[in-house]
């Protein structure tokens, strides 16, 4: 059986071969470990480069938009909790130093009659 040429193996690695030629090479490599190794080697050296991780413009924009949305949500939650806490007092314990009306200012039932009224009567 004829070994595939180096050129064919490289073309195979670059996916530039037709279906039939690829089939021929695969069939050959099944029976020829030597060519199987050559094919693996060719694939390693000439195969399509794994795409390096890089952010496209749209990736960056979507990330920025997503971060902005997260910030907006976080701010919204903070604002909501803050306003709820102020409104109902559920989230705030009753103030320890709550103002208590001093004894003096409480109107007393048994207060002495007003002097001006006494004069008017008299």
Of 33, 25, 30, the closest CA to residue 2 belongs to 25
Nearer to Zn ion, 32 or 40 (CB): 32
- Is 35 near Zn ion (CB under 5 A)? yes
| Nearest Cα residue to 7 out of 32, 42, 33 | 42
Q: Which residue lies nearer to Zn ion by CB, 32 or 43? A: 32
3-state secondary structure of 48: coil
Nearest distance in Å: CB 37, Zn ion: 10
Decide: is 36 part of the binding site for Zn ion (CB under 5 A).
Answer: no
Contact 4, 28 (CB under 8 A): yes
Q: Could you tell me which stretch among 13-21, 24-32, 60-68, 76-84 binds Zn ion (CB under 5 A)?
A: 24-32
CB 33 within 8 A of CB 2: no
Which range in 27-35, 48-56, 77-85, 106-114 contacts Zn ion by CB under 5 A?
Answer: 27-35
40 counts as binding Zn ion under rule CB under 5 A: no
Distance CA 79, CA 16 (A): 60
Is 32 a residue that touches Zn ion (CB under 5 A)? yes
If one asks whether residue 9 binds Zn ion (CB under 5 A), the answer comes out as: no
Tell me the C-alpha distance between 27 and 21, whole Å. Answer: 10
Interface residues with Zn ion (CB under 5 A)? 3, 32, 35
């Amino acid at each position: 059986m004829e070994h595939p040429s180096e050129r064919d193996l490289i073309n195979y690695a670059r996916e530039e071969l037709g279906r039939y030629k690829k089939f021929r090479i695969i069939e050959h490599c099944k029976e020829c470990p030597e060519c199987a190794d050559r094919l693996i080697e060719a694939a390693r050296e000439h195969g399509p480069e794994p795409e390096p991780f890089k952010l496209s413009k749209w990736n960056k924009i979507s990330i920025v938009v997503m971060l902005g949305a997260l910030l907006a949500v976080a701010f919204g939650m903070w604002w909501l909790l803050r306003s709820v806490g102020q409104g109902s007092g559920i989230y705030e314990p009753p103030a320890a130093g709550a103002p208590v009306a001093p004894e003096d200012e409480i109107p007393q039932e048994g207060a002495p009659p007003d002097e001006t009224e006494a004069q008017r009567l008299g």
